[in-house]
Structures are given as C-alpha cells and as structure tokens.
C-alpha cells in the first residue's frame, strides 16, 4: 500500500486545544481506518512542523480524503508527500532505465 508522510502545523485553534492533541491523533487514526487508510505513526516534533504523520492508503484519493477530514476539523494544516519504499524505488529505477 502506498505510504504518505504528512507534515502538520497546528492552527490557532489547534494550539489553543493542545491538551487534546493525543486524543485528536487517536480520532484521526480511527477516521482514517473507516476510509480504508491506516495511521502508521504520528510524531510530535520541534522545529518548523508541529507533527509528522505516516499514513498508508490504497490510493491517492483515499489518502486525500483522510487528510481533508483531518484538516476540516480546523486544528491543523498539512503538507503531504508520497513516500516510496526501497522496492518501489527499485521498480521505478528499472522502469526509467528501460
């Protein structure tokens, strides 16, 4: 299943409600699962991003739907990257090499 890395920043609302952040992460994981995605891990970070989430989803549409639901609550803004595992990258390289 494709993997997505989401770099998350709290909104003003998210910062005000920081005490609920662990519970919100659990809620996101359950909501993602209902859509067919899986929250593999979430990290609270120091630096330009407040959190990093690693999600698996069957396709871009499912990943996007899960992240739209998350962002729609109003606690975060996201930047999401499609990540490739080693075996996926090897197939991509083989395809590019002809």
Per-residue pLDDT tens digits for 49-94: 999 999 999 999 999 999 999 999 999 999 999 999 999 999 999 9
- Taking alpha carbons only, the member of 73, 55, 68 closest to residue 14 is 73
Handedness of CA 33, 39, 44, 46 (dihedral sign): negative
Q: What CATH architecture does domain 3-97 belong to? A: 2-Layer Sandwich (3.30)
pTM of the predicted protein model: 0.92
How does pLDDT run across 9-53, given as a tens digit for each residue?
999 999 999 999 999 999 999 999 999 999 999 999 999 999 999
Q: From 65, 45, 46, select the one nearest 57 (Cα to Cα).
A: 65
Tokens 């891990």, located at residue: 41
Q: Which two tokens stand for residue 96?
A: 């590019």
Are 62 and 52 spatial neighbours (Cβ–Cβ below 8 Å)?
no
């Amino acid at each position: 299943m494709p993997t997505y890395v989401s770099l998350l920043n709290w909104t003003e609302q998210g910062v005000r409600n920081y005490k609920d952040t662990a519970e919100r992460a659990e809620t996101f994981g359950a909501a993602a699962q209902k859509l067919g995605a899986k929250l593999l891990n979430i990290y609270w970070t120091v630096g330009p991003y407040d959190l990093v989430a690693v999600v698996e989803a069957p396709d871009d549409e499912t990943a996007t739907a899960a992240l739209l639901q998350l962002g729609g609550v109003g606690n975060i803004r996201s930047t999401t990257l499609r990540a490739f595992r080693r075996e996926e990258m090897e197939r991509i390289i083989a395809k590019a090499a002809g």
